[in-house]
Amino acid sequence: MSDIEVPESHPRYQSLLTRHRIEEGVEKGITSAQGLIAEGRGEAFDYLLGERTLSSADGAERAAAAHLLLARRPVISVNGNVAALVPGEVVALAEATGADLEVNLFNRTDERVRAIAEHLREHGATGVKGLTADARIPGIDHERAKVDGDGIYDADVVLVPLEDGDRAEALGEMGKTEIVIDLNPLSRSPRTAAVPVIDNVIRAVPNVAAHARDLRDADGADLRAIVEEFDSEAALADAERAIRDGAATPGEREG
């Protein structure tokens, strides 16, 4: 048994555990009520993908790791759902890549930002940005425009799991390399990204971290080759094909 009264042998164990974490996040003030809706939408796409990491998604995760390792100032953007679902995993990814963590919210309040930052610190983070919010992303009128000047605003590579499409486009307009984790290959956010990772965040974040650890000793030329070889359009097409056909892609990696 786990923290929910469902045995791990239950066929919907992972799904039920994920829902429970989001519910718990709402109770803690980490996740907004809208986050429950977003999780349900993502879960539907994951079900259509067979709740597995496609080989194309694993390739995207490897490319994401290479981008983060090559970056001058990499930043991982954290919203309420990410904090609720993979707090320890994003901390581990930050450590593996030298990236900063920054809280960024659509339904932003100072209380929620502080609660998420504290939640990340409880899971091992030594520094969390997003509390200063002394800069703005141009072209956005809502609260996600607020960022730290020495964080997302100055970043060259930004990992934005579960991102809003308008902010993804705005970050792209600023010339940033974006890595987006999203389960819908037709969504604006992954289609804007340099690296669209069509996978569940609970599988994707630890996979990117694992690739980063594997590539830690690679030289710049090898990392740049991984980046250049990645085909974002092919990754999106493969995920869409898997969803439409309902069939496993050859060589897929089970999540």
- Considering the domain boundaries, does residue 213 fall inside one? yes
pLDDT score of 34 = 72
Q: How confident is the model at residue 164 (pLDDT cuts 50, 70, 90)?
A: confident
* Cβ atoms of 70 and 223 closer than 8 Å: yes
Short-list 160, 179, 194, 146, CA closest to 65 = 179
- Considering the domain boundaries, does residue 39 fall inside one? no
Q: Please state, rounded to an integer, the average pLDDT across all residues of the chain.
A: 89
Q: How many CB atoms lie within 10 A of CB 247?
A: 9
What are the two backbone dihedrals, phi and then psi, of residue 11, each rounded to the nearest 5 degrees? -60, -20
Which CATH number fits the domain that encloses residue 220?
A: 3.40.50.12640
Domain that holds residue 118: 55-244
9 pLDDT exceeds 80? no
pLDDT score of 35 = 67
Domains contained in the chain, number: 1
- Considering the domain boundaries, does residue 234 fall inside one? yes
* Cβ atoms of 189 and 180 closer than 8 Å: yes
pLDDT digits (tens, 9 = 90+) for 36-94: 667 767 788 998 898 899 999 999 999 999 999 999 999 999 999 999 999 999 999 99
Triad 73, 102, 189: Cα angle to 5° = 85
The pTM is what?
Answer: 0.89
